[in-house]
Amino acid sequence: MTGSDDLKGLYPFLHGIGHSEPDLEKALLESALQKARDSRAANERLFSAQAATLVQAAKALANVYRTGGRLFCMGNGGSSCDAAHVTVEFLHPITAGRPALPAINLAADTAMLSAVGNDLGFEHVFVRQLLAHGRAADALLGISTSGNSANLIAAFTTAKRLGMATIGLAGGDGGRMKSAGVVDHCLVVEADSVHRVQECHVTAFHILWDLVHTLLADQRGSAGTGASP
């Protein structure tokens, strides 16, 4: 059976094939359960193979915070929403006793993004912000489901030149994010589905957040005011 036949079997109503209400309900239920199984399997594969990479990324980021640095985050589209999510987690931790840590979402300023995109090209939208604000003590985290976003690769290249720590979350085979040599710690979700990749990314940065706070546990008192932890 071809891939097209598989889809027709799962979603016949999308291909002009009649479907009774009970059969439709059954097909939709099975689709939901299968997607949930696929999501769990993708997470299991990722962390079984790359948990050590995540731990090393957490150590690097914890060291950035120990030395008074900040975390910059970036992404496009849905990944820009994930970048915003990461920064909120660090700036406004919901777990009691965990301090706010400095994090900046490079995708947040629409005036800056549209100005640089219009005048210089979209590839430069994150680079220009790093040139203005980034320093060697900081870290840059980039999220891309393909790993091939040109503006992320350009920003990672700039970050490396500035001496910043770099962390990447990618999908598929990791793309240029994995192969270009500009990301210190790169987690790659080896999945074809953008949705499964994004779900794994959310799990990964939640764990990263938790590990960083665990590593900084002995210094939480001085971090609560926003000073260097």
As a dihedral over the C-alpha atoms of residue 114, residue 111, residue 129, residue 63, rounded to 10 degrees, the angle is -120
Which tokens sit at 178? Answer: 């994995």
What is the 3-class SS of 77-109, one letter each residue?
A: CHHHHHHHHHHHHHHCCCCCCCCCCCEEECCCC
pLDDT of residue 222: 44
Owning domain of residue 181? 20-223
pLDDT of residue 45: 96
For the stretch 87-127, pLDDT in tens is: 999 999 988 889 999 999 999 999 999 999 999 999 999 99
pLDDT of residue 96: 80
Range list of H helices, 19-77:
21-66
Confirm if 82 and 198 have CB atoms less than 8 A apart.
Answer: yes
Question: pTM of the entire structure?
Answer: 0.86
For the stretch 127-150, pLDDT in tens is: 999 999 999 999 999 999 999 999
CATH of residue 61: 3.40.50.10490
The predicted model gives 56-85 an average pLDDT of 98
Residue 30 falls within a domain, yes or no?
A: yes
Residue 14 falls within a domain, yes or no?
A: no
Q: What is the total count of domains within the chain? A: 1
* Dihedral (CA of 139, 144, 147, 148) sign: negative
3-state class percentages of the chain: helix first, strand second, coil last, to nearest 5: 60, 10, 30
Q: How many CA atoms lie within 13 A of 63 on its CB side?
A: 11
pLDDT category of residue 4 using cuts at 50, 70 and 90: low
pLDDT at 219 over 90: no
Residue 10 falls within a domain, yes or no?
A: no
Residue 173 falls within a domain, yes or no?
A: yes
The predicted model gives 38-63 an average pLDDT of 97
Strand-pair partners of 73: 105, 141
Residue 112 falls within a domain, yes or no?
A: yes
Which tokens sit at 179? Answer: 């192969």
